[in-house]
Amino acid sequence: DAKTTQPPSMDCAEGRAANLPCNHSTISGNEYVYWYRQIHSQGPQYIIHGLKNNETNEMASLIITEDRKSSTLILPHATLRDTAVYYCIVRPDNAGNMLTFGGGTRLMVKP
Amino acid sequence: GAGVSQTPSNKVTEKGKYVELRCDPISGHTALYWYRQSLGQGPEFLIYFQGTGAADDSGLPNDRFFAVRPEGSVSTLKIQRTERGDSAVYLCASSAGTSGRIDEQFFGPGTRLTVL
């Protein structure tokens, strides 16, 4: 079973920030928070991951609460191409650990 | 460089038939994963290879499903006596599999299997 809880869907206006929440209250000390997204008819794509510090890359920012029980993925300036299902996943950061996907959040970016 | 490729992109078969789905991982990636995605759901893990060996096959639903990776590169997922419930998108992913590094999994586009 997935160890994360996400809202099933969200809307965002093009050009605005998209903030996608994720609850992972049972996260273990050695587990990282990963975010993947899946654009329609494509395979999932890695976005970002973190342990306890906030992380930023060219795609997004990840904000993890101090108690690590929740996190937020931020797309700073959403475009129509960001319309996708976003998955929040917790897992140890080493090879051999499968990704356990939940239902994800279907983000719809609207003009 | 080239990403993960999967063939065929679509496969339609009849109930009871045998199918093979192929995955070509990113060159040099030692870890390879198979997932299955039913309509409206997230992908579900099937099997993980490290090199040539199946290190974790706990996700295979039953003994009709089998996968191989004989040379540590290309992998084939084999399904015997297909059932309508096997209809799904079968996704393959690979990663560098290097201890101590980020284990980013790169996914292929998937094979859509339809069992009539």
Q: pLDDT tens digit string along A24-56?
A: 999 988 889 999 999 998 999 999 999 998 999
Please answer yes or no on whether B42 and A104 come within 8 Å at the CB atom. Answer: yes
Residues of chain B with pLDDT under 50: none
Q: Please check the confidence at residue A91 and state whether its pLDDT lies above 90.
A: no
Chain position carrying tokens 């040379």 = B71
Confidence of residue A96 (pLDDT cuts 50, 70, 90): low
Segment A52-73 shows an average pLDDT of 95
Judge residue B63's burial from the number of C-beta atoms within 10 Å of its C-beta, 0-12 exposed, 13-18 middle, 19 or more buried: exposed
- Mark which residues 68-87 of A lie under 8 Å from B by CB: 85, 87
- Report the mean per-residue pLDDT for chain A: 92
Residue A81 Rama label (left phi>0; alpha psi -120 to 50; beta): alpha
Q: What was the pLDDT predicted at A77?
A: 95
Nearest to A95 among B44, B45, B103 (CB): B103
Nearest one of B31, B69, B99, B2 to A99, comparing CA atoms: B31
